Structure 1
């Protein structure tokens, strides 16, 4: 059949219009390039309710942080995390061996010649991440993340530990990027960095059930291949963070510092010795090579005190980090960095918020806010600190007052207290990081 010139032009016009609409509109320059589409949005806060299967998404562009949508999960979540690029809420249901996913509806795409922001209604995702006892979550910010599945030694047959690696794009495809399984159940971790994965192992003479070593694995298609073991031992390994060219884990006698030396290689690691066991590592992608180790001193009924260590990976140094007014007997209930990585927030067990900031290559006091949480709970759920990646705010959940406390991340000052009408347990920020 012969098509007229006029018909061809009409068809091409329709095609161009469709392509432009698929890109979200906008104008084209003389070279046909589309304009960037930027949406001013503070994002959404995914928040779980204590003792409930309900997950609510609060719209932070609303003056009252109104609920954009509520979702009934399969089970009450044990934790809620944001996906690596911040689009999805990951509702961990550890005892049920699954992670449910909610699309937060705010994301950014790279269209080659421009960036395109989107804000739509949130929605439930049918696909789930599954595996025995999803527990430890490690993120390579903006790229990928891994859930470490502890496995289940009490199951029959025994369920071994494993790793599930994914990206925001793979969630959209309803698939993992890669996975691998260990030959034992173990409470461990798996830190991804590009095609490398630092994965735990435990020596036969381990003093407890925790890992003792890190093994380097390299991604091979949808799986991983063992490369070698990091030589330096780290008994009682627990907690990790990677930033810049370094990964740090907590140990019974300090921290293990591993340097990434090439795209497929790491060094043999070195021990940063401390007088206390370090069980948590805090860090930020915008503060490469700097970490904060969190340790506990004392055992009840004697005073129990949280202690902090500042790590400079480039210098392979560790020093005591003493927070302003932090006394013996004070315990950390929540902590977070601001979106710049330049300020570190800690909430103590009396409801006081202590803020320290980077200054002259170290950490210096910034603020101490008493009564950030007027009445602290006597048991979990404890308050949670959540950082907004788009604007200078942090959010502090108050389970007793059933409130969301909005903080100015540049000063730590309380900006607002918003009634929730329910007891918040765990939360994650979703949106476009600026």
Structure 2
């Protein structure tokens, strides 16, 4: 089924803005209420896309099929997300887009929200940028290793300001609980510090993380990619522990896991292992598995019980059994890889999304049905970069 995504002016909320509250402010605030947002019964997934050359930015609502246009921000080199906001690295700074879709996880239940899509300001710093957030703070880590902390409430009001520099940070920082996980500290840049939200050191685990690259936040804790494997930082009643998950063998620098891909909260992570293989990291089982895929440009997995998805350099999408590594399905999807930003695979609980820059399309894939194309979204611009929000 092919859907031509309709374009909406960025000011059109399409029913995303709530009715005036009237006298409700005098009553007790209902559980889950968020001013300026509507609560929904299901996850409100959206795709933030950008044209690398022109800087055109669009947001595709995967629930309605509508696309909002936010104008151009200048040439874009990279895009990342913290689940709600998209951060677009340009030659002059980082543009911030509020996708208007997010999830609040209380452990025993979740809340799904939708609100107006809008530009939310900019942050100064050289790209590419990495972003991690919690309800109080957003940490933006820039290409030169510097990190700035932004007040989450101000960011939600589209008032990010300049943020606060985090001294001593040389690698991406993860807000975790009421603290910050800060790798790359110490004389050898291999120590990990636990700091409070003001940036003051609280503790430092004995385990080290040499040459930290790659981060992920899971239900088991914060994961750091290290030269010798991964480091899992967990918290229990304010006490932090660190467990090394070694590769178990010597791994060349070019084949390290440096870009973890996964469904939000999942404890199964995927990362390219150089050009011709993929790493699967089972955070719960504390073990790695290397899967030989052949030339690969993008990977992802929705987690336990679902396949590893790998997009080959030849444009074929494959599904692999993560336990055995065996390829179970292979189907043509895109033209062979060419110059420019590589396509990505974004996943949620039952669908995957792959951008096709050359064809100006986005494909929705049912990975539980032999990689069936569930929907095809035709676009009028080049989706060079793409991230999924609503998580």
TM-score normalised according to structure 2 size: 0.74
- Distance in 2 (CA, whole Å) between partners of 1:246 and 1:104 is 26
- Deviation string 1:98-126 (CA, Å, 9 cap, x unpaired) is 3x23333445789xxx998765653333x
Counterpart for residue 129 of structure 2: 135
Counterpart for residue 181 of structure 1: 166
Counterpart for residue 352 of structure 2: 394
Instruction: Name the CA shift for 1:201/1:291 in 2 (closer, same or farther; >3 Å).
Output: same
* 1:42 and 1:388 in contact (8 A); partners too: no
- Distance in 1 (CA, whole Å) between partners of 2:44 and 2:301 is 17
Instruction: Name the CA shift for 1:79/1:21 in 2 (closer, same or farther; >3 Å).
Output: farther
- The 5-angstrom pairing of residues 155-170 of structure 1 reads 161-167=146-152, 170=155
Q: How many residues align?
A: 354
Instruction: Name the CA shift for 1:395/1:37 in 2 (closer, same or farther; >3 Å).
Output: closer
- 1:352 Cα deviation (Å)? 1.8
Query: Is the aligned partner of 1:197 residue 2:180?
Result: yes
- Distance in 1 (CA, whole Å) between partners of 2:230 and 2:110 is 39
Instruction: Name the CA shift for 1:22/1:407 in 2 (closer, same or farther; >3 Å).
Output: farther
Q: 1:215 aligns with which of 184, 193, 202?
A: 193
Structure 2 residues without counterparts, runs of 5 or longer: 1-19, 28-37
- 1:286 Cα deviation (Å)? 4.1
Give the structure with higher Rg (CA). Answer: 1
Counterpart for residue 69 of structure 1: 69
Q: State the secondary structure of the residue aligned to 1:424.
A: coil
Structure 1 residues without counterparts, runs of 5 or longer: 1-15, 24-35, 152-159, 297-304
Instruction: Name the CA shift for 1:150/1:234 in 2 (closer, same or farther; >3 Å).
Output: same
Counterpart for residue 80 of structure 1: 79
- The 5-angstrom pairing of residues 10-409 of structure 1 reads 18-20=22-24, 38=40, 43-62=45-64, 65-73=65-73, 75-84=74-83, 86=84, 88-93=85-90, 95-98=91-94, 100-106=95-101, 121-125=116-120, 127-133=121-127, 135-139=129-133, 145-151=138-144, 161-167=146-152, 170-172=155-157, 174-175=159-160, 179-183=164-168, 186=170, 188-201=171-184, 204=187, 211-219=189-197, 223-252=198-227, 254-270=228-244, 272-273=246-247, 274-276=249-251, 277=253, 278=256, 279-288=258-267, 290-296=268-274, 305-318=275-288, 320-322=289-291, 326=293, 330-338=294-302, 342-356=306-320, 362=323, 365=326, 367-373=328-334, 375-388=335-348, 392-409=350-367
- 1:48 Cα deviation (Å)? 0.5
- Distance in 1 (CA, whole Å) between partners of 2:307 and 2:151 is 29
- 1:81 Cα deviation (Å)? 3.2
Cα RMSD (Å) of the superposition? 3.9
Instruction: Name the CA shift for 1:183/1:199 in 2 (closer, same or farther; >3 Å).
Output: closer
- Distance in 2 (CA, whole Å) between partners of 1:257 and 1:335 is 21
Counterpart for residue 156 of structure 1: none
Instruction: Name the CA shift for 1:42/1:393 in 2 (closer, same or farther; >3 Å).
Output: farther
Q: State the secondary structure of the residue aligned to 1:280.
A: coil
- Distance in 2 (CA, whole Å) between partners of 1:257 and 1:341 is 24
- Distance in 2 (CA, whole Å) between partners of 1:143 and 1:342 is 33
Instruction: Name the CA shift for 1:83/1:264 in 2 (closer, same or farther; >3 Å).
Output: same
- 1:165 Cα deviation (Å)? 4.5
- 1:177 Cα deviation (Å)? 12
Which structure is richer in relative contact order (CA contacts within 8 A, separation 6 or more)? 2
**Structure 1 stretch displaced more, 164-173 or 378-387:** 164-173
